[in-house]
Amino acid sequence: MKHNRSYDDVGSAAPHSLPVRFEFTDATAVSVYIAGTFNNWQPDAKPMHPVGNSRWVKQTVLPLGTYEYCLVVDGEFRPDPLVKETVPNPFGGRASILKVVSEPEAVRSSTLELLQRNGETNEKQYGQTNTGNQ
């Protein structure tokens, strides 16, 4: 039976798990999978699903922790181009680092990174509340 869902419900196995969404864009990719320390580097364990416009998506649930992973694009292990932090992988290339942290920390980290990327804030400014009374 073929598994066509883009969401793995593995959260029931671990009490402290959070949803994680992977996205990848490649106009020439025929198949994209995710392999990493969370699935013993099995290259076909977590298939990503095409959603149009050359985009691939995978939603899953992972326990809190730090993981190494690669995208397996048409059989080739590659680091995630959207992730800056990498380490050597078991296959002679680089692996991306994924940190699954508590929701408030994850939201803060994602928001801060987005704001910094857009030049809208720095670490000292983040978290300040604008009350509109200034």
Per the structure, the complete domain to which residue 85 belongs is given by 11-101
Residue 51 forms part of a structural domain: yes
Q: Is residue 25 part of a domain?
A: yes
Question: Mind listing the pLDDT tens digit for each residue in 96-127?
Answer: 999 999 865 555 455 555 555 655 543 333 33
Tens of pLDDT along 65-91?
A: 999 999 999 999 999 999 999 999 888
> Residues 17-75: pLDDT tens digits?
999 999 999 999 999 999 999 999 999 999 999 999 999 999 999 999 999 999 999 99
Give the per-residue SS3 of 44-102: CCEECEEEECCEEEEEEEEECEEEEEEEEECCEEECCCCCCCEEECCCCCEEEEEEECC
Q: Classify residue 54: in a domain, yes or no.
A: yes
Q: Where residue 17 sits, what CATH number does that domain have?
A: 2.60.40.10
